Structure 1
Amino acid sequence: MSKPMAPDLTAGPIFALNELGVRTPWRGTGAARRIHEGLAGNRPEERITLMVNPAASDGKVLALYESWGYAAVNEVQPKPGRTAARGNDPEVRGLNIQAGPGSSVGPACPS
């Protein structure tokens, strides 16, 4: 990480989403959103975290997650001495935060 993580972001249980992808025919249909909300909804954890490459699909993947309520909390830099591009950056979303604008899903964790 490029900077220390805030203690409130690392305290308590956190649901970590490792990878989510849909095949080409289902992209743009809302399938990824429905899968995501099915995994994230009604969980006991206060936050969900994932890693995203900010350059993936020219930033479209990052924009998608941010429209779902995620916010960047840090950056991952290449190891010293390496010239590789930046890696995946952590994003966090509170499970009690409403899903992004235009959502037909409603809250990520209904009350």
Structure 2
Amino acid sequence: VVWPKGVDTHQFHPRHRSQDMRQRMTNGAADCFLMLYAGRLGSDKRIKDLKHILLAMPDNACLCLVGTGPRGAELRRFFAGTRTVFMGQLLGLEMCQAYASADVFVMPSYSQAT
């Protein structure tokens, strides 16, 4: 049995890097070091753990959170005043562009399956 790759590398490819998307993800601070979280905004994802990481980073670091979920409003309050942008849900090409336009993807959850 041969298992296919877990990621469609044709769709999720660096060629989708977009300066326009990066501008959106950073509120216009496109020259920052951009960390991306993409997923459900739930407490089990440990997204709040990213705040102390962001605050420990140099001032040119920023965080973009892509997704929706039951903790969305709470997280917006929690990250208020930080270099964090909430994008809501992205699909298709926009999601590909977001991944390709970030400098690093962060997933603080102990389990990505939930």
**Shorter-normalised TM range:** 0.3 to 0.5
TM-score (norm. length: structure 2): 0.36
Between 1 and 2, higher relative CO (CA 8 Å, sep ≥ 6) is seen in 2
TM-score (norm. length: structure 1): 0.37
Bigger helix share: 2
